[in-house]
Chain A
Amino acid sequence: MASNQDSNSKNSNSNGNNPEKDFKWDPLRFISKKPDEVLKKVDDRLDELEKEYFSGKKDKEENLPNILELYGVSRRDFLKWSAFLTSALMLPYIFEPRVARAANILTRTPFIWLDMADCMGNTEGFLRTAHPTPAEIILNYVSVNYMESIMAPAGYQAEARKTETVKKYKGKYILVVEGAIPTGMDGKFLTIGAKGDTGLKITRETAKHAGIIIAVGNCAAYGGIPAANPNPTSAVGLSSVTNRSVINIPACPANPVNLVGTLVEYILIGKAPQLDSLGRPLWAYSGRLHDNCYRRGHFEAGEYVREWGDDGAKKQYCLYMMGCKGPFTWNNCTTAEYNQDISFPMRAGHGCIGCSQPAFWDRMTPFEKPNADAKIIIPGIEATADEFGVGLFAAAGAGIAAHAIYTGVKKKKEHKKSKNEKNDNSGKNDDNKKE
């Protein structure tokens, strides 16, 4: 199963516990035609995983409360959160206890987090939270077998830990990759660890036997900033270097809810959730920011912020004229929200920069000007579409004027000439053949 080479098949992510390949799973519309069967499958899977990862009933029941207590999150808060996650995943209410169980199991699932070429903003986003929500707490307490930024072992020991995990949990461990993978010079732009292996080699080897592969952050998903033009290191996203199917959780940084939600869904069903054409889970990335924005009404009303801090800004008018890229971006920022679920760019008064779309550093810039002010990409021309268009129009107008004048002058001349010729009475035949 793990060596399934078919990158298109979502089922290739199955970790082997759930061999049903035709398992129908479509939470966006309806789960399945046979809901009881699906519930039973999910329950069986959860039972099996609980048996595998917990030593007994006590261990299973006390694991999550212990963790949450450390952060002062009450059981009630956790249940609220799991209800929120259930609805975010577009699952019916009956899945709420199962989502809670899956969150519990998630803390024990073997987990490898690889850091490639990026700023580690996603790690920071998940780890450094003042008032973490269960999403961040669970991410902190997943049984991380390898994660450079928080693991105790170093050097050869760390490497050994990784190889051991890959061997021991073949086809079961979760692989999360953060950061773009440079492929130039055989990947030598990025070497990691005591052996100095290239990032390219490490990701390929680790991805080979992973149960599920997640590219978190725009860099890992699409290359992000390292891959921005002119991309000197030929950095690419994870899906370009492995032929396994990759779940992309883009954004800069990715929302912890999206990562945990995807992992919980993986625990529940043993395969990747439904993905869109850019490899993103549909439950999180099917909505366009512009359509779900709380400032959309002001967009429709023609009420725009014209400069930072003007009256419109104070009244929370639409940021379209300040370069908000919400109309070009698919994510759930407006509903799931960032920073412990309290805010997102538009709420903070700045437009979206489109960080969950491919090549956003090239395509969404300038960030604080409307898209119509972006330079168009025609070699040798640096102008906006309008500047170039006006230029062409002016050239065409000049051409038309020149032609009109030319015609007038020539006509006059010919007229004179023909008059003269007539006066001379020496006209000659036009030898042009006409049909």
Chain B
Amino acid sequence: MQNKNSKYGEIQLVHRMTVIKRIIHWSFFAAIINNIITGFYIAYPFLIFGKTPTQADSLSTGVLNSGETYQAFIMTWMREFHFIGAVIIDVIFFVWLYLAFFSWKEPLYKSFIPFGDKLEEAWRMLKHYFTLKDRPKTGRYQDPLNAIIFTLFHLLILLQMLTGFQMYVASFTGTSAVGAWWPWLLHFSTDWTLVVFGGLTGVTLVHLFIMWLIIIFIAYHVYIEVWRSVMWKEGDILIPFGGYKYMRNKSESESES
């Protein structure tokens, strides 16, 4: 133990994610996975229910038979779960936005300000990824590179929300069960997407494309957290599970000298 400590420095337990943030993290994850699957179905209905004989002759053209039309309604369910997932994502986005500024523990904006310094630190982190040297200290706070990437990711989510709501409001005819303010609000906040992306079809394609960027983000995010855990030996991957990570006084590159 003494040996290891002298090699890697003193181990310290650092609280990084509160219970609330962990709940947010995992419900966000579940909702996004749910929306990717259901969204794929909405774009390409890959299962055919209530199939006819010629449509069921291979796996790719339909495998499930639930009988009559009135018994199936798979698209309805897919859309329903897509909307439920979307509501969860929307709520989480706004909670994230709130916490990014007013979190008691660690508001995200502190990882940006002062802007110049943090940007430089992010750049150093990026260099560290490729040189494995000169690791900037991360311990008690979100490192700026992650903060920037998470913010970009949330901007993608925001764009996904806006394009999604534009498609959602398309079936409204001026009013709704909760009043005319609701479609009005959606039109007001999302109609610009029609102009920018070229009509509802363009909005749909953008929605589909951003999904791929989000999938790429998930892959990157998992990889880099595993990489950090392996390389830094500070248990970064444990943060969203237990809320804690370890911190060493000395980094490995220091100890190696």
Contact = CB atoms under 8 A, between A and B. Distances in A.
Interface of A: 28, 277, 286-288, 290-291, 297-304, 306, 310-312, 315, 320-321, 325, 327-328, 354, 357-359, 362-364, 370-372, 374, 376-377, 385-386, 388-390, 392-393, 396-397, 400, 403-404, 406-407, 410-411, 414, 418, 427-430, 432, 434-435
B75 A301 contact: yes
Most chain A beta-carbon neighbours within 10 Å: one of B70, B75, B129, B204: B75
Contact of A407 (B72, B132, B215): B132
A371 B199 CA distance: 12
A411 B252 CA distance: 11
Contacts of A376: 205, 209
Interface stretch (B49-57, B92-100, B142-150): B49-57
A302 B74 contact: yes
B174 A286 contact: yes
Interface string B42-53: 011101111111
A287 B45 contact: no
A372 B204 CA distance: 8
Contacts of B115: none
A432 B133 contact: yes
Contacts of B220: 396, 400
Nearest to B208: A385
B102 interface: no
B202 A372 contact: no
Given A28-B174, A302-B49, A407-B227, A310 B55 contact: yes
Contact of B227 (A301, A312, A404, A428): A404
Most chain B beta-carbon neighbours within 10 Å: one of A287, A298, A304, A411: A304
B48 to A, nearest CB: 6
Interface of B: 43-45, 47-55, 61, 69-70, 72-76, 129-130, 132-134, 136-137, 170-171, 173-174, 191, 198-202, 204-206, 208-209, 211-213, 215-216, 219-220, 223, 227, 231, 251, 253-254, 256-257
Contacts of A372: 43-44, 204-205, 208
Given A303-B72, A363-B199, A315 B227 contact: no
B212 A301 contact: no
17 contacts: A286-B173, A288-B170, A300-B73, A302-B48, A302-B73, A303-B69, A311-B52, A325-B201, A362-B198, A376-B209, A393-B216, A393-B219, A400-B219, A406-B130, A407-B132, A430-B134, A432-B134
B49 A410 contact: no
B70 to A, nearest CB: 7
Contact of B198 (A287, A302, A312, A363): A363
A275 to B, nearest CB: 13
Given A372-B208, A434-B137, A359 B216 contact: no
A214 B224 CA distance: 60
The 9 A-B residue pairs whose C-beta atoms are closest, nearest first, are: A389-B212, A311-B52, A302-B74, A385-B209, A301-B72, A372-B43, A385-B208, A302-B49, A328-B200
A304 B45 contact: yes
Contact of B256 (A311, A363, A418): A418
A434 to B, nearest CB: 6
B53 A388 contact: no
B54 A310 contact: yes
A327 B170 contact: yes
Nearest to B209: A385
A299 B208 contact: no
A374 B200 CA distance: 13
Contacts of A404: 223, 227
A306 B199 contact: no
Contacts of B54: 310-311
A311 B55 contact: yes
Contacts of A430: 134, 253-254, 256-257
A299 B216 contact: no
Given A403-B129, A427-B257, A430-B254, A300 B75 contact: yes
Given A320-B45, A372-B44, A301 B73 contact: yes
